[in-house]
Amino acid sequence: MEAMEQRERMEWLQIDSLDLEARGVGRSENGKVVFVSNALPGERIQASILRSKRNWESGTAVAWDNASSSRVTPKCSHFGVCGGCSMQHVDPAAQLAFKQRILEDDFWHLSRLRPQTLLRPIAGPSWGYRTRARLTVRLVIKKGGVLVGFHEKGSSYVADMRSCAILPQKVSELLLPLRALIASLSHPERAPQIELAMGDSVIALVLRHLEPLTESDRQLLRDFGVKHHVQWWLQSKGPDSVVLLDGEAEQLRYALPEFGITMPFRPTDFTQVNPQINRVMVARALRLLKAQATDRVIDWFCGLGNFTLPIATQARKVLGVEGSATLVARALDNALQNDLQDKVMFAARNLFEMNAADLRAYGEADLWLVDPPRDGALALCKALVAAVGGTLSSSADGSQTAELASGDHGGAHVPFTPPRRIVYVSCNPATLARDAGLLVHHGGYILRAAGVMNMFPHTAHVESMAVFERE
């Protein structure tokens, strides 16, 4: 078992870098690495060391000898306690530089790659950007009633939030009224969560309730909805149980005006958290993809068609593939609503289980758009490498030794023309870098360009995009 000191200790440290959670990293007198909240590179700080393990320690900064030029005053009074943000003390431009450094470091350290070109970082509004959020609801008698908000940092407690600067102002202003509303329900202790989903003109709230609601509960929700202009949805069990409180309401939707597209969605569907960045991101992805009117394109992990439909306005045909059958049905509906049904096809499939034969079954494509969840697109990249006859048993740098799935010999004797260009959108630079290693060292691609997008300002979350082209 690792030794753990229980007593708090104070120590002055020099901070050299930031870790992936935006904590300052320094070294203590005893030689251990120390991760310090609210400390920035270049600062000499006094840390209160709260945890001590065999090889590392962690704590929080309590005094500063000098302040970094990137340091700013956090806007939100809950910063430091609330787990929603970790970088409000860093200037937004420096946040982007930090995220870009992570991306470049991951490419280099995980796959010995450097993009030929660094794309200009994409930034949007720093505040009020978050149109999706999962708010925890908890009855805490000691705090005087119901709390609604994000978890406290590193804890399962709910932060005592009265406002939130990353939520749109009209949603932030609902936090206190929501406390009162839940407290007035017949079982406030049995309503553990409220999910927010905003469209361009509608705020939808999904109330998770573990007990059936009474008619008076429903009326309270209805009255709240009218007063605050929100649409209530109810969730009594899993995601499939989500229904509107009252049979009909205005459809949630977001627009991609540059492409003349409107995307209807349901509150539990995956949509990008930051609509302003999403618009710029889709436009940039399409510019980098450079689809021609003759091209067949595959959009892997297509969701409700966020990239598929814009691509369909430029290419000959687009196939969207996605794991959720519900999202595939929504994508098809959205294609119909946007009169793009003749340009698109969709398929539901688990893309974490793919081999070269599966890939061939979807047919060759001139271009790929890949937008996976945090785990990345390893199976897909391996399948592509196998289909083009690449070998995965040895690598240029020795770090990637992925094996082909058993029985997946890639059918290398049957010619397969790989996509000439791949635009990969990622919410996890480590899995992007890993997959990039496969595509470049084993698949015959060049990492042409890459860059970051500040999809989640004030969090350490890194969203990025990379472009691969055949050599």
E strand residue ranges, 394-442: 421-426
Cβ(301)–Cβ(372) below 8 Å: yes
Kindly state the smallest distance separating residue 460's Cβ from ligand SAM, in Å: 18
State both tokens at 272. Answer: 């990008």
d(CA 66, CA 10): 17
Among 238, 191, 243, CA closest to 213: 191
d(CA 184, CA 369): 48
State both tokens at 50. Answer: 């709260």
**Amino acid at residue number 380:** L
Nearer to ligand SAM, 270 or 416 (CB): 270
Kindly state the smallest distance separating residue 94's Cβ from ligand SAM, in Å: 26
d(CA 379, CA 355): 7
User: One of 82, 164, 381, 427 is an active-site residue; which one?
Assistant: 427
Size of the chain, expressed as the number of residues it contains: 471
Kindly state the smallest distance separating residue 258's Cβ from ligand SAM, in Å: 15
- Would you call 85 a catalytic residue per the annotation? no
State both tokens at 15. Answer: 């901070």
**Measured CA distances, 298 to 21, 205, 321, 349 (Å):** 34, 33, 8, 13
Nearer to ligand SAM, 129 or 301 (CB): 301
Cβ(424)–Cβ(281) below 8 Å: no
- The residues binding ligand SAM (CB under 6 A) are 270-272, 301-303, 306-307, 322-324, 327, 350-352, 371-373, 427
Nearer to ligand SAM, 64 or 352 (CB): 352
Kindly state the smallest distance separating residue 369's Cβ from ligand SAM, in Å: 8
Kindly state the smallest distance separating residue 441's Cβ from ligand SAM, in Å: 24
Nearer to ligand SAM, 15 or 328 (CB): 328
Nearer to ligand SAM, 57 or 195 (CB): 195
Catalytic positions: 427
